[in-house]
Amino acid sequence: MHSEPVVDRVADAVLASPARLGAVRLVSVDGPSGSGKSTFARTLVACLRERGCHVGLVSTDDFATWDDPVSWWPRLAEVLDRLAEGRPGGYRAWDWTTGEPRPGAEVRVPVPDVLVLEGVSAGRTSVRPVLTRLCWVEVPGRVDRLERAVARDGEACRPLLSAWQRFEDGWFAVDDTRAHADDVVRPHGHRSPGWTAVAASGPRGRS
């Protein structure tokens, strides 16, 4: 059974809040690279499924590339528009198995009760009006985040990850994503798995 107090509280808040993407509750998990967004998102998905929800998970990694960190959004917006209309969506994901992005598999996105969208820019300004909840996941130290990302992606990616960090610093400064988050969480660390809530709120409305 799932047992993560912070994630449990987020899941409870999601289910206590209204759907704003048609009948779908859309939850974004955003934050700097190397902070643990994917792990948090997967844990939240498992928690919601334990509550009997039909939950989908989409990662921005399926859309973004090193050269195109955020301008791919219209492709994902088409998927969200279809879900808002009660129709399944779909997209072609990037295949990274060779180390370079190339067209990969078609991904079908059925209409869920909750859709968790995770990745850098998942909580961007343009999507906030239809979000049920925005979670910000962070590791405060830039160097620590880089090392976590390199450990995940490989030493050969270090220059690319460093450049990505510089880009996302500017992106988040302009988008001001953290300031709009309903939850701000941090991972305990490798030796002590779990999450710490830095700031959180209950269900609240969005303009």
pLDDT at 207: 42
- Across the chain, mean pLDDT equals 91
- As a whole number of angstroms, the distance between CA 166 and CA 163 comes to 5
Mean pLDDT on 110-118: 98
User: Terminus-to-terminus CA distance in the chain, angstroms?
Assistant: 36
DSSP symbol at 178: G
Task: Please report, for residues 10, 135, 173, 197, the alpha-carbon distance to residue 132 in angstroms, rounded to integers and kept in the order given.
Answer: 11, 10, 23, 18
Q: What is the pLDDT of residue 2?
A: 57
Closest CA to 90 of 98, 102, 82: 82
pTM above 0.85, yes or no: yes
Residue 156 pLDDT grade (very low, low, confident, very high; cuts 50, 70, 90): confident
Nearest residue to 189 via CA among 122, 140, 155: 140
Model pLDDT, residue 25: 98
The larger pLDDT score, comparing residue 87 to residue 96, is at 87
Domain coordinates of the chain in residue numbers?
5-200
What's residue 101's pLDDT? 86
CATH code reported for the domain at 5-200 = 3.40.50.300
Q: Count other Cβ atoms within 10 Å, centred on residue 131.
A: 21
Of 67-71, 166-170, 196-200, least confident by mean pLDDT is 196-200
pLDDT in tens, 117-147: 999 999 999 999 999 999 999 998 888 888 9
Residue that is written with structure tokens 């309903």 in the block: 182
Helix (H/G/I), strand (E/B), else coil: 196: strand
Predicted confidence at residue 201, as pLDDT, reads 63
Give the span between the Cα atoms of 153 and 161, in whole angstroms: 9
Q: CA gyration radius for the chain?
A: 16
- pLDDT of residue 205 exceeding 50, the answer is no
